[in-house]
Structure formats: C-alpha cells, structure tokens
Amino acid sequence: MKKFVNDPADVLAEALRGIAAAYPDLRVDADNRVILRARPTRAGKVALVSGGGSGHEPLHGGFVGRGMLDAAAAGEVFTSPTPDQVLAATRAVDAGAGVLHIVKNYTGDVLNFEMAAELAAAEGVQVETVVVADDVAVQDSTWTAGRRGTGTTVILEKVVGALAEEGADLAAVAGLARRVAAAGRSMGVALSSCTVPAAGRPTFDLPDDEMEVGVGIHGEPGRSRVGLASAHEIARMLVDPIVHDVGEAVGPAIVMLSGLGGTPLIEQYLLYGEIAPLLAEAGVEVRRVLVGDYITSLDMAGASLTVVKADDEILRLWDAPVVTPGLRWGA
C-alpha cells in the first residue's frame, strides 16, 4: 500500500489534524471528529450538518464554511459516523432555528443520523432530515436499501447552504433540500479499485482490461463489469442512464464531473469534452459546471457524473458566495 500514512489506524485523526492546520476558518473537534466553522452559528440561522464515512474528501469536511455546511461528522474511512458524533455536531451548531441533517442513503448513515436526530429533539433541538439517494446505477447495494447517495449531495449542500445563510426558516430549508435531492441523478465508473488504509489491499479486484460501470463510492458493485472502453464510450455509459432515469427533457441543470481520487484533471477534462455534447444532445441545458475532485473514493481511478435539474432559484443560490476549502467564490 503506497500512501501517505503513519499507522493506518490513525488516518482519520491525522487527516483532521491536517485540515485544522490548513484552514484557519475551520475548527476541528478532535474528540468527536467533527469539523465546524471557526465562528459559531449566527443566532437564528438554520444550521446544516452532514457527515458520513471518510475517504470521500473534500466531502464533507471540505464543504464546511460560509454559505455551505455548519458542521460535518467524520466517520472512520468508509464507516458511518456514530450517533454521538452527529449529536455533538448538531448541538454545537444549533443557534435556536433548528438543524438540517443531510444524509447520504447508506443504511448505517440513515440509522445513526436518525438516532442523533431523536436525541437532539429530546434536548429541544429541532431537526429536519433530507436523504440523498441519487445514484441511478443500482436499486439496492452492499450497504444500501434503495439507491445510494452520491454527487447530488455536493450540489445540495451548496444550494441549501446559501438559502440558510439568507435566513430562511427550517421548513423552507428542508423543503428546498428535498427538492434538490429529488432533482439530482448520478452515475459512476471505476477504472481501478481503491485501498482502505486499514485493510491494506484493494477493496475489489479489477483486471487490467476491465472497468466497473455504476460503481459505488465505496467500491460497491455497479451494473456491469465490461471491457475497458474509450472515453467516448464511457461518456455515453454515464450520460444515458441518467437521462433515461429522468425520463423527460432535463432542461436547465447544474452538472458535476467528479474524479474519484486517483484520476488526474487532464483525464477529467477529456472525459467532460465527451460528456458535454451528449448532454446537449439529450436536452440537458448545462448552466453551471464543476469538473474536479469533489466526491472521491480514496485513490480509486474513475469518475462520476451528477446532473441536477435547476430552476432560477437553485441557480441564484448556486451563485451566492461560498467560502469552504472545496468550493469558494463570490467572497
């Protein structure tokens, strides 16, 4: 295993130490493994809390900051955060207006956030929850009932974070979150496996001439394992299932092509060059684009495509200022 690590058991704690050192606008609660804004939540602002297993950086900790999340609970690599972690995050950021939990649809995440929400409610904190289940690849999966939650989470955190920053109340924030979650679709492809540091060997075997179409962000099996295809063919394997799933003209949209951690930007640019004309052909009017590493799977070579239908309100909120390690503009 060739990685920048010390003891594989310490990866999360040490990565959090690096985040704390690099970003003075953030604060790390090392005991609870929660990443927070350095400044406390403004009184009366709805707070956004997300989290999940680590290994998908910059998601979620790298999206904490003005205009996006208030806190993120970081589980061990590919492991849900505990209810205690989520509760600690929720308590720390509640400023009287309630807290939105943003949860990717994995069984452990859903259960632990649910338990934390109940504990927080018992303490008088109002909590609403949105579950992202946007991955069109498969219906159920290794750790998931229904669809897995992937890239739409990034766009949701940005858009809904902007609405919360404007002072909207919890019902409005949760309502928008559900609307964005319902408007998003994702599909990924792996050219290689990834290696969980504590395991020390690749999560799955993938021969040199094959790829996994519809892979999950933890290396869960996808729709099919097929021969290594050209970027042009791969673009179609990502675009078609998304467009087919929407089932009607998508119209205006925010699009994200995310590398999975081991794929450099030059390949992502090339792949996006193949994707863009296919989206246009399918009636997706791309209004905003992200290309880069936004939701990763450790060192996996591969990419995922996310398409979120976007009306004028969503686009306006997308353009609002954001200051986080992973997304920053307008301020």
Region 278-317 residues binding its own copies, contact defined as CB under 8 A: 289, 291, 293, 296, 298-299, 301, 303
Q: How far apart are CA 325 and CA 24, in angstroms?
A: 10
269 lines the binding site for its own copies (CB under 8 A): yes
Which string of x and - marks every residue 23-42 that binds its own copies (by CB under 8 A)? Answer: x-------------------
* Binds its own copies by CB under 8 A, chosen from 40, 200, 251, 264: 264
DSSP 287-310: EEEEEE-SS--TTB-EEEEEEEE-
Give the number of residues in contact with its own copies, rule: CB under 8 A: 61
Q: Does 186 bind its own copies (CB under 8 A)?
A: no
From candidates 51, 62, 184, 241, binder to its own copies by CB under 8 A: 62
Nearer to its own copies, 57 or 157 (CB): 57
Looking only at residues 69 through 98 of this chain, which bind its own copies when binding is defined by CB under 8 A? 77
Tokens of 182: 């319902």
Strand partners, 185: 307
Residues 60/85, Cβ–Cβ less than 8 Å? no
Closest CA to 192 of 205, 177, 178, 176: 205
Spatial separation of the C-alpha atoms in residues 280 and 253, rounded to whole Å: 11
For 177, phi and psi rounded to 5 degrees? -60, -45
Among 201, 205, 266, 312, binds its own copies (CB under 8 A): 266
**Phi, psi of 245, rounded to the nearest 5 degrees:** -70, -40
Among residues 217, 262, 220, 215, which one has the least CA distance to residue 234? Answer: 215
> How many other C-beta atoms are found inside a 10 Å radius of the C-beta of residue 6?
9
Please select the residue that binds its own copies; options are 44, 167, 251, 273, rule is CB under 8 A.
273
Q: Show the binding pattern over residues 192-231: x = contacts its own copies (CB under 8 A), - = does not.
A: x---------------x--x----------------x-xx
Picking from 287, 293, 280, the residue whose alpha carbon sits closest to that of residue 159 is 287
What residues are labeled active site? 56, 218
- Binding residues for its own copies, per CB under 8 A? 2-6, 11, 14-23, 54-55, 57-58, 62, 77, 191-192, 208, 211, 228, 230-232, 234, 261-274, 276-277, 289, 291, 293, 296, 298-299, 301, 303, 323, 325, 328-331
